[in-house]
A and B are shown apart, each in its own frame.
Chain A
Amino acid sequence: MDTEITLRVDGAAHPLAVDTRTTLLDALRERLRNTSPKKGCDHGQCGACTVLLDGRRVNSCLVLAVTVGDAEVTTSDGLAADGQPHRLHRSFVEYDAFQCGYCTPGQVCSAAGVIEEARQGWPSAVTGDVTDEPDLTDAEIRERMSGNLCRCAAYANIVPAVAAVAQSEGVRR
């Protein structure tokens, strides 16, 4: 059943008619040709499809495109402003935080979410006392990034790549 929607993606509005069954991930990749979010599992289990929806990280494979409404979708592509890579992109390159790169756009969007969530003072499962304000230690970063799998197991370099940006953003002591 086709429905008319307008998706706001990386700063541009895209009117399109989608079958109600279309996920945000498929609308981005197949209709808008934004292949930055990747399809790993299509079931919420790997994080490769992670995008920011009004600034919050979500799995775009489990979001139906018709439910997005006016929310602003930001993909890893969209984090790069004026053709310049985002500081997380640069940090991933600097720390060699990927091999094949398939999981990387999802990792980058997720990391942007992690930093924002820490700034809001959200605890995690490894925060000793949930009433504490978190400090993005390596253990905190590992826990908070656990929704993003990496088949190449670049984890050992992803953690410092995220940590460096967290430090410069003041959410890691």
Chain B
Amino acid sequence: MREFRYEQPPDVAGAVALVAGAPDGAFLGGGTNLVDLMKLGVATPDLLVDVRELTSREITDLPDGGVRIGAGVPNADLAADRRVRERFSVLAQALLAGASGQLRNRATTGGNLLQRTRCGYFTDVTKPCNKRLPGSGCGALEGVHRNHAILGQTLDGPGTCVATHPSDMAVAMLALDAVVRVLGPDGERAVPLAELHRLPGEDPSRDTTLRHGELITAIDLPPLGFPSRYRKARDRASFAFALVSVAAALRVEDGVVREARLALGGVAHTPWRALTAERALVGGPATEDAFAAAAAEELEAATPLRDNGFKVPLARNLVVRTLADLTEGSR
């Protein structure tokens, strides 16, 4: 591991100034992803600015009925929060489906959003990877890619990358229209979560649209007001990343879908908002046939790789099951 200086500045502005002023500096949340990547030689910061206790650990009510989640709130505390469990069950379920009890105690909300891909070529410094070492190639494209993306990949050129975003929490937050509050050297801004993560495009080395030195201070969730649910398919029943996951919320009246929120995990470089499917659902009947048709429409854009074609029917079936659960009124 590269040597680094460790700083605990007194406030968030100081933290931003420190990282903004150090090209190889990084914020440290719970460290459950960053310390791991430092051990592997994938992340090589020369300065760590600890923001775990600096960013708010509080969840507060917003006037509109939503909640503001401090970036320092541990994943475990967020999942256990009464308001989250009652009003945003999809978020509690997504958090609880991720990692382990120990990891959730340490991992923070801000760090969870910015965790990096679990692609095995990315985490192995002896392998080619355009995300870790731009221009070195994409080991996964023709290699082991059973758990890689089926949507929005870059399939040729120097930007080739077929990695997925691993977070469960972010998928739920995307379906909930979350807004990320960011503090940078030039002040504060609010970034809709849908605009935080980016597809690989020509530059897979950048996971997000954040600039160096920008700190996530909080995440705002607007009120939802109808039932929501998370479902995750994985290779073992617990303590495994998603093959495919679905975050959904549905408002049904007299058998007709009035509002629909749908996001997929494990399918793309970003948590994937299924806007095509949402449009197909709204105004239609709340039936399994209609759900399957909407999912199929979304997945028409899929470009699966040699070994991950199974994710297409898996995603479709998981969408149908999740929406059917919601229609039956279970949480």
Contact = CB atoms under 8 A, between A and B. Distances in A.
Interface of A: 1, 3, 19-21, 23, 42-44, 47, 50, 53, 56-59, 62-64, 66-67, 110, 113-114, 117, 120-125, 127, 129-131, 142-148
8 contacts: A1-B5, A47-B102, A53-B105, A64-B48, A113-B105, A125-B97, A129-B330, A146-B238
Interface string B84-96: 0110010011001
A171 B104 CA distance: 21
Contacts of B224: none
A147 B3 contact: no
Contact of A117 (B4, B101, B239): B101
Contact of A123 (B3, B39, B92, B100): B92
Given A50-B102, A63-B31, A143-B238, A3 B6 contact: yes
Nearest to B99: A147
B3 A121 contact: no
Given A59-B102, A146-B100, A122 B28 contact: no
Task: Select the residue from A44, A57, A117, A143 with max chain B CB neighbours within 10 A.
Answer: A44
B36 interface: yes
A58 B102 contact: yes
Contacts of B96: 123-125, 127, 130
A130 B50 contact: no
Interface string B138-173: 000000000000000000000000000000000000
- The 7 nearest A-B residue pairs measured at CB: A147-B100, A146-B238, A146-B239, A125-B96, A122-B80, A20-B6, A130-B92
Interface string B254-284: 0000000000000000000000000000000
A131 B89 contact: yes
B101 A114 contact: yes
A67 B5 contact: no
B68 interface: no
A53 B80 CA distance: 18
A47 B192 CA distance: 35
Contacts of A47: 100, 102
